[in-house]
Amino acid sequence: MLPVERVFFRTRLERAQFIAARLRGYFSGKVLDVGCDEAHLKTLLSLRDYVGIDVCGKPDLRLNLEQIARLPFSDAFFDCVICCEVLEHLENLHFIFSELVRVSRRYLIVSLPNNWGNARRPIERGRGSIGHYGLPLRAPPDRHKWFFGLSEAKEFLEGQAAENKLKVLEAFATVKPRHRLVSALRHLRFPNQLAYLNRYAHTYWTVLEKP
pLDDT of residue 122: 75
pLDDT of residue 131: 73
132-178 confidence digits (pLDDT tens):
888 888 888 888 999 999 999 999 999 999 999 999 999 999 999 99
SS3 191: coil
φ/ψ (deg, to 5) at 99? -70, -35
47-75 confidence digits (pLDDT tens):
999 999 999 999 999 999 999 999 999 99
Judged by phi (left if over 0) then psi (alpha if -120 to 50, else beta), residue 40 lies in alpha
Chain length of the chain: 211
pLDDT of residue 19: 98
CA 92 from chain centre, in angstroms, equals: 16
- Domain positions in the chain: 4-209
Q: How confident is the model at residue 129 (pLDDT cuts 50, 70, 90)?
A: confident
The yes-or-no verdict on residue 79 having pLDDT over 90 is yes
pTM score, two decimals? Answer: 0.94
- The CATH T-level fold of domain 4-209 is Rossmann fold (3.40.50)
Check if the beta carbon of residue 64 is closer than 8 Å to that of residue 32.
no
